[in-house]
Structure 1
Amino acid sequence: MSEVLDDGPFFHGTKAQLRPGELLAAGFPSNYRPEIIMNHIYFTALRDGAGLAAEIAGMDGTPHVYEVEPTGEFENDPNVTDKKFPGNPTRSYRSTHPLRVIREVHDWTRLSAEDLQLWRDRLAGIRRGEGGVIIN
């Protein structure tokens, strides 16, 4: 496990409507590729990163960003750290342990309609096998 140098606060973006105290856990379909069951739950220390994840999630509903608290060990997300970016500039993490919802946050930056379409096109390309990385 790599060293994690971040104390948070941490955020998770989704279209699911959640309440404080609820737990988010691995073992469910990916927000981006529902045919994949996730072994980890992903989160970030960047509100807008969580907002991006919420906006491009493949499920129906309104995007939400939640402040979350890891309930166990976590690690740097290898999908966006040294694999694609040196270090962890996206401050993205993953855990096999649940995340506890602390509260919903509302002060995150929404994508423009044009940027949202670019991300949707990128996701469609990944689903077609054209490669790429999704920031969780």
Structure 2
Amino acid sequence: MEFSPFNAVVKLCLQGMSLEEKNEPEEACKMFMQGWSEATNDLEKFLAAHYISRHQKTVSDRLEWLNTTLKYALKINDDTVKTALPGLYVNIAKCYEDLSDMEKSDEYSKRASLCRDHPSDKGPFYHGTKADLKVGDLLIAGGDSNYQSDLKMNHIYFTALPNGAGLAAALARGNGQERVYIVEPTGDFENDPNVTDKKFPGNPTRSYRSQFPLKIVGELTDWVKPDPEDLQKFRDKLGDNEGQIIN
């Protein structure tokens, strides 16, 4: 499954998070439980279980849901969830500590320390834009942010999800045709800190950034364009977001 903010279970989780922000934990938990009951694949179950775990009233119940989250993370075993593992192991270790099982607590603390936050994603990678470019061109940092008009970006951003790049193209400034280019990083890159372990655990959008140029090696034409109504809701949500971009 490719992560999408328009997925039905993801929408339920977003509604639950909104209720959390309004200090309505019981209603939020209902949304997450509905997401769990409607989940049909490992990623949806991973996401729903993650949010359910933080609404448990006992340590034992929290541990049970954290272990459920971990089970699905390990089943998925890809770059959408790997960056969530350190925090997940830390939370499980804390539960065992609270239950006075120090052997288990130490075990999961060691697992957390062994996890590395260096992307292992091998791509292929994509960049969405309205610019008319050609194979061999380089995309470089220093452009204007699509989300904060007065901000020059210190990195160039890309993703391993074709439809995610398509969404970025739809949100990009300008009136040109929406394009999704296949790109190759020319240097080191990192998880995008603006999305990694923020609202969602791990890096489900497989979003990355680099201070080195991206080389265009092709163009993708069969990506799925977001529904206009969903896209407008997404734009509205971005407009209401008062958070600062990590640049």
Runs of 4+ in 1 over 6 A off after TM superposition: none
Within a 5 Å distance, the mapping from 1:117-136 to structure 2 comes to 117-126=232-241, 129=242, 131=243
- Aligned match of 2:205: 90
Structure 2: state its 5+ residue gaps: 1-115
Once the 2 structures are TM-superposed, how far is the Cα of residue 132 of structure 1 from its aligned partner? 8.6
- Aligned match of 1:50: 165
Contact 1:26 / 1:97 at 8 angstroms: preserved in 2? Answer: yes
Length-normalised TM-score, structure 1? 0.88
Contact 1:24 / 1:98 at 8 angstroms: preserved in 2? Answer: yes
- Aligned match of 1:72: 187
- Aligned match of 1:2: 117
Say whether 1:108 aligns with 2:223: yes
Cα deviation 1:79-122 (Å, max 9, x = unaligned): 11123322211111000000001111111110111012112212
Contact 1:31 / 1:59 at 8 angstroms: preserved in 2? Answer: no
Q: Which has the higher strand share?
A: 1
Identity %: 59
Look at both structures and tell me which one has the larger radius of gyration over its CA atoms.
Answer: 2
Cα deviation 1:55-80 (Å, max 9, x = unaligned): 01122211110000000000111111
- Aligned match of 1:81: 196
Larger RCO of the pair (alpha carbons < 8 Å, separation 6+): 1
Structure 1 counterpart of 2:201, one-letter code: P
- Aligned match of 2:175: 60
Say whether 1:20 aligns with 2:135: yes
- Aligned match of 2:98: none
- Aligned match of 1:32: 147
Length-normalised TM-score, structure 2? 0.50
- Mapped to 2, the partners of 1:27 and 1:73 lie a distance apart of 17
Structure 1 counterpart of 2:195, one-letter code: V
Q: Which has the higher helix share?
A: 2
Higher mean C-alpha deviation, range 94-103 or range 58-67:
58-67
Once the 2 structures are TM-superposed, how far is the Cα of residue 30 of structure 1 from its aligned partner? 1.1
Contact 1:10 / 1:44 at 8 angstroms: preserved in 2? Answer: yes
Length, aligned pairs only: 130
- Mapped to 1, the partners of 2:141 and 2:131 lie a distance apart of 14
- Mapped to 2, the partners of 1:132 and 1:122 lie a distance apart of 14
- Mapped to 1, the partners of 2:202 and 2:239 lie a distance apart of 27
